[in-house]
Amino acid sequence: MVGNNDPNFDRRSVLKAVGAFGALFGISGVTSATPGREPGPRKNEIIVGVGASASSAEATVKSHIPSNARIVHTNETLGYAAVKFPEDAAGRATENFKQNVLQADDVEYAEENVTFHALEAKGLETDDGDAATESDVGVNYTPNDPSFGSQYAPQQVNCEGAWDTTLGDPDVTISIVDQGVQYDHPNLAANMDGSVSNHGHDFVDSDDDPYPPSAGENHGTHVAGIAGGGTDNGEGHAGISNCSMLSARALGSDGGSLSGIADAVQWSADQGADIINMSLGGGGYTQLLEDACSYAHSQGSLVIAAAGNDYGGSVSYPAAYDSVVAVSSLDQGETLSAFSNVGPEIELAAPGGNVLSSINWDDYDTFSGTSMASPVVAGVAGLTLSAWPSLSNDELRSHLHETAVDVGLASNEQGHGRVDAHNAVATEPGSSTDPDPDPEPGDCGDEVNTTTAEGELSGGTAGNPSDAYSYALETANPCSATVTLDGPSNATFDLYLTLDGRTPTTTDYDERSYNWGADEEIAVDLSGDEEFGILVDQYSGSGSYTLTIEELGS
């Protein structure tokens, strides 16, 4: 196959060198679609993949197709041909073809040109509690975007701390493989890559303009706005980064074909995209898309994809491929979104419930889904590469892992943790990545005060009860404290904490811990002027519990 196999080669130099010839360079190896091939999902098509030794995918496959079929598309870079059968062809005919063509020399696989879809979760209620963060962001950069105060996603991943260092380098490019992006949206236009005609390519309609059609298709514009909507431009919402974006339109309102998505991934890599985001899935495992993602990785791109919205189902493809970073979704309270898929392939978690971003025709809206979480990670990856431009895609991937924050979920739900922009930008790659390192002996912990309280919660007929406590600091120089709740295994209790002495509520608090079960923990750093207000709240079940406060001082 064609391509540079060194993931460390400088893609940005390629992108600059392409200049006005970007569109021509980007579609090398992709043959134009046969006239009359309808846009959208490619029904009745079989993808035939050939080996690296084959001189031509078209020549290899052509002699093996039956008289009622024809080759309608080829991609010599990825080494495949799409063979179309008439609509009235029997299913047995296509199955026989797949079996027979596999006997041919240089043919490696044959599979249906299946359809993938955008991974937006519609009509869902998500938890909107305050998010707890664990990195010490220091001085925070507050952008002037008028809707920033209505957002939570950039704040949850600590963009404000990262923005002190960089808002994103336009030399870093993120490709949005999705529905078309409204590239002249007032909050996107300045960040669209200008090196390619119309800022991208359309693999649905097979033309050079990825602009969305007049009706629908908000998904791509929303995803783009999350990763790279204009930040600190006095317009709309704040995107995660001000990196450049490309639009690779591979989905229509009714989904997109396997071949179109694979071509879009290859094109993005050939354009020199540092990061490729795919908020799509549902087509199952395919060899072609695995090959396309591996090709992009070999070209130096970091490929990121949404895990899927099947309410705890297994991670979707393409996110499940080894070459792709799989992202799960969190709600505002840093709990796993109910719709999010889970599994051992999950590498990072990010906010995906009720995320505010741009939509078509110069507007804004909140969408939910792992589709929204994936571009958060893509934007953070862009900020990280802006701060550390020498990182290869593998080094960038590892650095995002090492600087992520554990939010108390299982590894198959959060992977390495919630992605953290400040940690990733402020931590030198290869150095200590613990955002809250343990203090040296003697700095904290010479004086320890422990307080316990016991209580019992029972719902009875009154609903979910709660107990409230207050605690004044006892150490001379307090530096940290840990509040733990130990309750019955057959109940679910939640723990809420305020640092100014007021009684917490389930919607008004500074820190909280809640999971399935009744064992919760909150750890906080202290400066000496805090007074705790604590709420133990019953979600389900009943029983006695023990509340413990361990305060450390020096």
Active-site annotation, residues = 178, 219, 371
User: Where on the phi/psi map is residue 398: left (φ > 0), alpha (ψ -120 to 50), or beta?
Assistant: alpha
Contact (Cβ atoms closer than 8 angstroms) between residue 283 and residue 118 = no
Interatomic CA distance for residues 369 and 531, integer angstroms: 38
Q: b or e along 462-491 (b: 16 or more beta carbons within 10 Å of the residue's beta carbon)? A: eeeebbebebebebeebbbbebbbbbbeeb
Q: Which residues are 202's β-sheet partners?
A: 207, 249
DSSP classification of residue 396: H
Contact (Cβ atoms closer than 8 angstroms) between residue 544 and residue 455 = yes
Contact (Cβ atoms closer than 8 angstroms) between residue 132 and residue 525 = no
Assign 71 to helix, strand or coil. strand
Place of tokens 């307090």: 478
Q: Which residues are 203's β-sheet partners?
A: none
Place of tokens 């450390």: 552
Q: Which of 235, 216, 381 is nearest to 303 (CA)?
A: 381
- Whether residue 318 is preceded by a cis peptide bond, meaning omega within 30 degrees of 0, is yes
Interatomic CA distance for residues 3 and 9, integer angstroms: 11
Residue 314 class from Cβ within 10 Å (0-12 exposed, 13-18 middle, 19+ buried)? middle
C-alpha to C-alpha distances, 539 to 62, 273, 347, nearest whole angstrom: 64, 46, 30
HEC sequence for 521-544 = EEEEECCCCCEEEEEEEEEECEEE
* Cβ within 8 Å of residue 206, ≥6 positions away: 32, 33, 37, 39
Interatomic CA distance for residues 12 and 10, integer angstroms: 5
